[in-house]
Amino acid sequence: MKKLWPYKIYVLRIGHRPKRDKRITTHVGLVARAFGADGIFIDSNDEKVKRSLMKVTELWGGPFHVEVGVNPYNLIRNWKEKGGEIVHLTMYGLSLLDVINEIKRSRKDKLVIVGAEKVPKDYYLLADWNVAVGHQPHSEVAALAIFLEKLTNGWVFEAEFEDSKIKIIPTAKGKRIVKVNQRI
């Protein structure tokens, strides 16, 4: 299924601590890819996370861009200079349900900020939208999934990826995976 929205969606993961956050950051990347984002930028230079996400993309399809070691402030500045918008996911922001239609109406490329630890005040000020998926402590992985599901109108439920080597056949019980074009 082709992506039906007129803008690019990228995720910026900030505050990634390689020894502590590798699984969560990998999951942020997995959700970003599966739910329709075009790629992820990670502020830390964690090549293990990059390799893991690229391996998933190679097997399950893409395209999906992964870049590590980015300077988040430079990325945000360049993003805005090119006309893109910044969405910061935070439990302190405005309710997702109150702002999602406005975000969707804007046809500008989106950079979605997902923090790993306490997010510096600067990001709140740089964001075009500070958006909350609930106002209670929760997982940034869950927040990203819910945000992207709403932003893409449920695209994840019908998604198909280019160059996939394997595909799941939905079943009521058990597991069924097939090779696509016998490339495995």
CA separation for the pair 167, 40 (Å, rounded) = 23
**Domain span at 170:** 9-179
In a domain? residue 33: yes
Whether cis (ω within 30° of 0) applies to the bond prior to 170 is no
As a whole-number percent, the residues of the chain with pLDDT over 70 amount to: 98
**Mean pLDDT (the chain, rounded):** 94
Relative to beta strand 166-168, strand 177-179 is: antiparallel
- The per-residue pLDDT for range 111-159, each reduced to its tens digit, is 999 998 889 999 999 999 999 999 999 999 999 999 999 999 999 998 8
- The answer to the question of residue 49 being in a domain is yes
Give this prediction's pTM. 0.94
Q: Is the pLDDT of residue 2 over 80?
A: no
**pLDDT 10s digits, 67-107:** 999 999 999 999 999 999 999 999 999 999 999 999 999 99
For residue 4, what are the contacts with CB-CB under 8 A and spacing of at least 6? 152, 153, 155
Which letter does DSSP use for residue 36 in this model?
T
Q: What is the rounded CA–CA span in Å between residue 25 and residue 98? A: 27
CATH code at position 141: 3.40.1280.10
Q: How many residues does this entry show for the chain? A: 184
Residue 1 in any domain: the answer is no
**Does a structural domain hold residue 3?**
no
User: Per the structure, how many domains does the chain have?
Assistant: 1
Is residue 148 one of the residues assigned to a domain?
Answer: yes
Residue 2: inside a domain, yes or no?
no
